[in-house]
Amino acid sequence: MGKPTGFMEFQRELPADRSPRERVKDWQEFHLHFPDENLVRQSARCMDCGIPFCHTGALISGMASGCPVNNLIPEFNDLVYRGLWRQALDRLLKTNNFPEFTGRVCPAPCEGSCTLGIIDPPVTIKNIEYSIIERGYAEGWMQPQPPQKRTGKRVAVVGSGPAGLACADQLNKAGHTVTVYERADRIGGLLMYGIPNMKLDKQIVQRRIDLMAAEGITFTTGVEVGTDLPADQLLANFEAVVLAGGATKPRDLPVPGRELQGIHYAMDFLHGNTKHLLDTNFSRNGHGNSGHISAKGKNVIVIGGGDTGTDCVGTSLRHGCASVIQFEILDRPPDARQPDNPWPEWPKIFRVDYGQEEAAALQGEDPRHYSIMTQKFVGDEQGRVKEIHTIDIEWVWENGRPNLREIPGTEKVWPAELVLLAMGFLGPEDTLLSGLGVERDPRSNVKADYGHFATSVPGVFAAGDMRRGQSLVVWAINEGRGAAREVDRYLMGETVLP
């Protein structure tokens, strides 16, 4: 390691963000850049801990502890400290196909299991990763590297999210001829349309897609496999197929009034907004007039407290909403780790994300309300939602399980002209899977064992959220790489992929 005493000499430091009041006026990324000397100091904090948990990628208590793609974090930290940026990039790309994505949107389970984090704030692993890959692009090191030899084997990847892209990238490196099918009009899946531009600039996504295309991968948009392209035709045209279509079936809220106008799934809101921005070259005019859902001038309530809910808050503020509130049925997390949540588990603590920070700056307080449950929606004479009726709840343990209990007398009515449902996803859609006849697990996901990724249909594999259920981008990359390895083994009898 570069500096054994670095963790004692330097405090954790991150680059500043643009001010909330400034950044809500546009759709550009809000994190600012760090000078090299600051990055060197931060990489020096990576201590000689002996057994680094940061790159383990283990599941503890159902959550990721350490990096799911097993990034060699102490190694690239040391290389950054010594100014060996090109070597740091090579080390990072050994394990992570898309550090420009994870360096922006990953919640950084690596930092949650950083050994230094037991006694001090953890190493700024995520920002160092981001800085390495961006340095690689800036220096011209990220050039197309098509395989020197082709195997003659054809593979179809269905879905162009992080799992599909990682799988395609690895299979192409092995020399297979890869075609990626995407039903949307642009490649990228949730990277393109599920994550707002201020978190992940779409030029960054397109930059990587262009690089992959230059390396020989074929991207086909506007084709929904199972509908536009029959499943049997897909199987006839390719030696192997990888299903990476995600878990896109949203969780609904079946309470009275759900049929009212103005109640939408979060992904419909986010997808439409990004498509509008890209189609109009980020024009700020015409909200509400181009077919997408607009929050302009409306009282917005977001139901769901996760990342998608946060993205809805940030997007609504940029539309110019009258107000935005976020409901969470769970209790407010504690400010610090609790005894039942020890290191190296992911710390289940209270955090303020960018959307809440922006709402607090504009509205004067955090928009989140915890331990609250929607009872019904009420509409006006035109059938449009105008208010939400809620009641506070408490969580009690009964028979070893948490159960919610309504608290009488806590009923409340909230004005709302736009309601966004951001309560997660139930599993993959049915059309393609029914057409292929693949077996499903009890949660409706494609049944395919982790590590093997083979479905019940010979030559068909599954990866990412379509196999494991809703999860992190970094887990999708892990699964895409794993599925590519098993497809290569299936096609060639052995595999050269890591």
CA angle 357, 362, 364 (to 5 degrees): 80
**Nearest 5 degrees, angle CA 151-CA 143-CA 183?**
65
> What pLDDT does 287 receive?
45
In tens, the pLDDT along 451-471 reads: 999 999 999 999 999 999 999
pLDDT at position 284, please?
55
Give me the long-range contacts of 482-486 (CB less than 8 A, separation at least 24).
Answer: 482/450, 482/451, 482/453, 483/163, 483/167, 483/242, 483/244, 483/453, 484/166, 484/167, 484/168, 484/169, 484/170, 484/171, 484/174, 484/242, 485/170, 486/451, 486/452, 486/453, 486/454, 486/461
Phi, psi (5° rounding) for residue 360? -65, -40
CATH hierarchy code of domain 6-138: 1.10.1060.10
Length of the chain: 498
Q: What's the pLDDT tens digit per position in 289-307?
A: 457 899 999 999 999 999 9
Tens-digit pLDDT profile for residues 11-51: 999 999 999 999 999 999 999 999 999 999 999 999 878 88
User: What's the mean pLDDT in 412-434?
Assistant: 96
pLDDT confidence of residue 445? 97
Two domains, one topology: 154-248+426-492 and 252-423: yes
Query: What's the rounded mean pLDDT across residues 363-383?
Result: 98
Using the Cα atoms of residue 382, residue 383, residue 385 and residue 389 in order, give the sign of their dihedral. Answer: positive
Which pLDDT belongs to residue 61?
87
Q: Which residues contact 13 (CB under 8 A, 6 or more apart)?
A: 38, 41, 42, 124
Residue type, 365: E
Measured distance CA(424)–CA(309) in Å, rounded: 9
| Cis bond before residue 4 (omega within 30° of 0) | no
Q: What is the mean pLDDT of the chain?
A: 95
- At 76-103, the pLDDT tens digits run 999 999 999 999 999 999 999 999 999 9
Residue 224 — left, alpha, or beta (φ > 0 → left; ψ -120 to 50 → alpha)?
A: beta
Q: How far apart are CA 444 and CA 446, in angstroms?
A: 7
User: What is the mean predicted confidence (pLDDT) over 140-154?
Assistant: 97
> If you average pLDDT over residues 339-351, what whole number do you get?
95
Tokens for 240, please give them.
């192997």
Structure confidence by residue, pLDDT tens digits, 174-193: 999 999 999 999 999 999 99
Residue 92, C-beta contacts closer than 8 angstroms, at least 6 positions apart: 71, 72, 76, 99, 129, 132, 133
pLDDT, tens digit, for every residue of 375-403? 999 999 999 999 999 999 999 998 889 99
Give the pLDDT mean for 206-226: 97
What is the per-residue pLDDT across 67-77, written as a single tens digit (0 to 9) for each? Answer: 999 999 999 99
Segment 340-355 shows an average pLDDT of 95
Contacts of 84 (CB under 8 A, 6+ apart): none
Domain limits, the chain: 6-138, 154-248+426-492, 252-423
Say how far apart CA 219 and CA 161 lie, in whole Å. Answer: 12
* Helix orientation angle between 473-492 and 162-173, rounded to the nearest 10 degrees: 40
For residue 333, the model assigns a pLDDT of 97
The string over 172-207, giving b where at least 16 C-beta atoms fall within 10 Å of a residue's C-beta and e elsewhere, is bbbbbbbbbbbbbebbbbbbbbbbbbbbbbbebbee
Identify the DSSP state of 122. P
Per-residue pLDDT tens for 320-344?
999 999 999 999 999 999 999 999 9
pLDDT at 64: 86
Full-model pTM: 0.96
Query: What sign results for the dihedral spanned by CA atoms 481, 486, 489, 491?
Result: negative
Q: Is the pLDDT score of 314 beyond 90?
A: yes
Q: What is the second-level CATH architecture of the domain 252-423?
A: 3-Layer(bba) Sandwich (3.50)
Q: In what order do the strands lie in the sheet containing 240-243?
A: 218-221, 177-182, 154-158, 240-243, 460-462
Q: Vertex 439, ends 436 and 441: CA angle to 5°?
A: 140
Segment 224-230 mean pLDDT: 94
**pLDDT at position 282:** 82
How do residues 108-140 score in pLDDT, each as one tens digit?
A: 999 999 999 999 999 999 999 999 999 999 999
Rg (Cα) of the chain, in Å, rounded?
A: 23
What would the pLDDT profile of 245-288 be if each residue is shown by its tens digit?
999 999 999 999 999 999 999 999 999 999 999 999 887 544 44
> What percent of the chain clears pLDDT 70, i.e. is strictly above it?
98
pLDDT of residue 286: 41
CA end-to-end distance (rounded Å), the chain? 25
Q: Which numeric CATH code is attached to 154-248+426-492?
A: 3.50.50.60
